[in-house]
Structure 1
Amino acid sequence: MKRRKLIKSLSSIPLLGALPFLSKNAEATSVRKKRDIIEELGIRTFINAAGTLTYMSGCIMQEEVVETIENTSKHFCMIDEVQDKVGEKIAKLVHSEAAMVTCGAFSAMTLGLAGVLTGTDVRKVEQLPHIEGTGMKSEVICQKSHNERYNHAFLNTGCTVVEVETIDDVERAISEKTALLHFLNITANLGQVKHEHWVALGKKYNIPTSIDIAADVPPVSNLWKFNEMGFDMVFISGGKAMRGPQSAGILMGKKNIIEAARLNSPPRGFTVARGLKVNKEEILGMYVALEKFIAGDHERKWKEWESQVAHIENAVKDLSGITTQVSIPELGNITPTLTISWDDSIVKLTGREMRDRLRNGSPSIEAGFSGLPLYHYQAGSDSIDPTVAETLKGVNLVRVTAWMLQPGEFRVVAKRIKTELVLAGAS
């Protein structure tokens, strides 16, 4: 065989032998393109300059929370064991006797009251919400200004809500039917009876007290403040500042109540709360979110929000007809909030029209509500309660927060708001 042909034939041997290996290796190392289901379905995504609103999908979970959900999804666990171990850890973090993860603050309210009503009597658990003739208590007392729509969570147990306004009203309303004295933190300043007096009334009459602080962190200290104050139950959302799963929340409080609430909760199938499932992924993800939130550098984060809000304010405050103000809400979503308002003789735009322009532009931006607290708005839309809709006529402003913005988005928000105001007449 000639030298050239020999070399050629020999050089082909390892290549041919390697073909099966190369083929398999190529399959193993090929990167499968991830499916973008949001793009596939044409779902609008947006920059969130409004805050942690349920109908806007709450928050973007922390990376470690997402990793926890993904990793735990690959294993089977007993739900009660997960709740036992996570509840013990959470209770220590929030300075309560006991805790459990629920599918949101609303769920925590239903389960907490159910626990108060039934105790650990399985027969009573099975009877809810049909409490008439069972000997169970049937009324929840709260201040008139605290009787928000979320109190429907209590109605799910079969109870009714009794409204009061003064301490004397509370004492007159208390009877053998009273199961719970409930307090809504976001409207605390609207009621005549303050936190400490509400707790004192509960202790005086041996009636459990509860408080809804669904959106009331930051500050981080609120996670334990109300437990230490003496409330028997505290309800909080997980998918807001803590950046846990939007489908999760926490019920914390007295050990006997949490034990009874657990008896009313899934995985048991004979309860009024069977539909309020929370799986291992959310339970463990919520624990990680809480742990990381408490350990976070809150001072640094606050300064970051202030800086970003200042950048947006500086972009528009010197325009003609524009007024800006940075404030910090006393209750609920306590973060630096920028209000941008304008003279409608110069800027030919309503607050609602400004929000629509930001929403419908590219990239889409969601700005805050125009002049009313969040609880006036219908869940799931921008529609407003008919009784207060009149208030917004002629209100020319938008509100902007930075705490749900992703890195660099504050610059986009500043530029877009300035552009819209200039297009509408500001200069």
Structure 2
Amino acid sequence: MSELLASLGLEPVVNAVGPATRLGSSTPGPHVLAAMAEAAGAFVRMHELQAAAGAEIAAICGAEAGYVTNGAAGGLMLAAAACIAGDDPALMDRLPDASGARDEIVIHRGQRIAYDHALRAAGARLVEIGFHDLTFPRELDAAIGERTAAVAYLSNSGANAIPLEQVVAIAHRRGVPVILDASLAVPPVANLRRFAALGVDLVAVSGGKWIGGPAASGFLYGRADLIRSVALQHQDQDVRMETWHGAPLVAEGIVPGPPHQGIGRALKVGKEEIAGLLAALRAWVARDHDADRARWTADCETVVAALDGIDGVRAEVLPADGRERGWPVAEIALDERALGRTAYDVVRELAAGTPSIALDEALAWRGLLRVTPTQLQAGEAEVVATSLAASLRQREAAAAIDTEDRKDWTA
């Protein structure tokens, strides 16, 4: 990769943000790359490959069915399309035009984020409930009506939302499925089976983040009938009724025939991504996750220790909570006035340095920086710590130089 980057005039980045898509997500291991290379050397019927991969995903997650997608956002779009269209190929052909159909997806106002565009792209109209600080169960119940296709729920939203367990109970009582965006909820690995056990109907997971699969990979798992709709709207439907592999669906009266190319056709997943995702998932569920957390915690402690004693800086390790956020972070609070520089100044400076370092700037508007250690390579925690300390000591260094200058002037 270094040769390729050099030929393009680029340099690798030290990733202290975590598995962010804008930084390339992850660095898949040799077992993932080998699986992708093997898949690249053969032809296969893609519906059969998806069915086999989906069965393994379902077994790992304790669900009825699974399906490989091109990422968590693509999974959300397919999930919304499945909940809207069901087994209706004519409606599949029309999406994102969902006029006259059940096209409403209920969502907490406090869980609205830019990524819910994936739901709207399928033709859904979002119906908001509650506020960021408080939502009552009665509001969810009241929002569900004849046009409701699903309820969407976002893990790690930070909002004071109705607990997921209660959301599932209310939605199911009203005959409505629940879509869960779990892109940031794995790790911990236990969440995979926990969400299935709660009865979540479709769970969207990223394969290219902590699982370590190809960047353009993810998966859905949940109800078999909804996964069936996902497949019909995602796979290549350049087929003929006489030879269509889905003929049993027609014979059983589930569908009158195949749809044309569905809305998911633009979210293509190659055989290489399917093979790589499976290899990554198999290895990831078998990993020593305690050892991962211990290594990540040590890297956070390295960063925090390097910033100890710097005026205007308070750094601490926020441990993994074992439920929603399965990884620790080093959080650095800046007294921007005392330092004479903002958190954004620090982000820009480290990004422009050698090596270029990317910091988590999600809370920089509050004067907070974070180092997420999960993508750091060996030795990079020390590089980040040293660069951060040098940047944040600039006011001290400038004051020391000024003092020496004044001594020289008065001598």
Match of 1:207 in 2: 176
Contact 2:213-2:281 at 8 Å conserved across structures: yes
CA displacement 1:129-165 (0-9 Å, x = unmatched): 22224xx311111111122222221222222011112
| Residue 288 (structure 2) pairs with residue 302 (structure 1) | no
Match of 2:148 in 1: 178
The verdict on how the C-alpha distance between 1:244 and 1:287 changes in structure 2, with shifts beyond 3 A counting, is: same
Shift of 1:332: 6.0
The verdict on how the C-alpha distance between 1:400 and 1:62 changes in structure 2, with shifts beyond 3 A counting, is: same
Contact 1:348-1:425 at 8 Å conserved across structures: no
Give the counterpart of 2:383 among 396, 412, 415: 412
Residue identity opposite 1:305 in structure 2 = W
- For residues 328 and 35 of structure 1, the distance between their equivalents in structure 2, rounded to whole angstroms, comes to 34
Contact 2:155-2:184 at 8 Å conserved across structures: no
Map 1:116-265; keep pairs closer than 5 Å: 116-133=83-100, 136-165=101-130, 166-187=136-157, 189-265=158-234
Give structure 2 stretches of 5+ with no counterpart.
Answer: 131-135, 238-259, 401-411
- Runs (4+) off by over 4 Å: 329-333
SS in 2 for 1:163: strand
Match of 2:392 in 1: 421
| Residue 283 (structure 2) pairs with residue 292 (structure 1) | yes
The verdict on how the C-alpha distance between 1:35 and 1:167 changes in structure 2, with shifts beyond 3 A counting, is: closer
CA displacement 1:41-78 (0-9 Å, x = unmatched): 11242100111212122121122112211221111112
The verdict on how the C-alpha distance between 1:345 and 1:115 changes in structure 2, with shifts beyond 3 A counting, is: closer
| Residue 60 (structure 2) pairs with residue 93 (structure 1) | yes
SS in 1 for 2:166: helix
Give structure 1 stretches of 5+ with no counterpart.
Answer: 1-33, 373-391
Contact 1:115-1:258 at 8 Å conserved across structures: yes
Q: TM-score, normalised by structure 1?
A: 0.82
Give the counterpart of 2:265 among 261, 274, 284: 274
The verdict on how the C-alpha distance between 1:345 and 1:211 changes in structure 2, with shifts beyond 3 A counting, is: closer
Contact 2:303-2:382 at 8 Å conserved across structures: yes
Give the counterpart of 1:400 among 349, 363, 371: 371
Give aligned-pair identity as a percent.
28
| Residue 81 (structure 2) pairs with residue 114 (structure 1) | yes
SS in 2 for 1:290: helix
Q: TM-score, normalised by structure 2?
A: 0.85
SS in 1 for 2:264: coil
CA displacement 1:148-202 (0-9 Å, x = unmatched): 2222212222220111123222222221111101111122x52442111100111
More displaced stretch, 79-88 vs 262-271: 262-271
Residue identity opposite 2:341 in structure 1 = L
Shift of 1:423: 3.0
Contact 1:219-1:334 at 8 Å conserved across structures: yes
- For residues 227 and 363 of structure 2, the distance between their equivalents in structure 1, rounded to whole angstroms, comes to 38
Match of 2:40 in 1: 73
Match of 1:23 in 2: none
| Residue 360 (structure 2) pairs with residue 368 (structure 1) | yes
Contact 2:2-2:12 at 8 Å conserved across structures: no
Match of 1:352 in 2: 344
- For residues 232 and 334 of structure 2, the distance between their equivalents in structure 1, rounded to whole angstroms, comes to 55
Root-mean-square deviation over aligned CA pairs: 2.0
Match of 2:246 in 1: none
- For residues 60 and 127 of structure 1, the distance between their equivalents in structure 2, rounded to whole angstroms, comes to 38
CA displacement 1:236-289 (0-9 Å, x = unmatched): 111111111111111110111101110010223621111000000001111111
Match of 1:323 in 2: 314
Residue identity opposite 1:86 in structure 2 = A
Largest Rg, 1 or 2:
1
The verdict on how the C-alpha distance between 1:244 and 1:424 changes in structure 2, with shifts beyond 3 A counting, is: farther
Shift of 1:229: 0.7
Shift of 1:344: 4.2
- For residues 343 and 196 of structure 1, the distance between their equivalents in structure 2, rounded to whole angstroms, comes to 40
- For residues 295 and 48 of structure 2, the distance between their equivalents in structure 1, rounded to whole angstroms, comes to 39
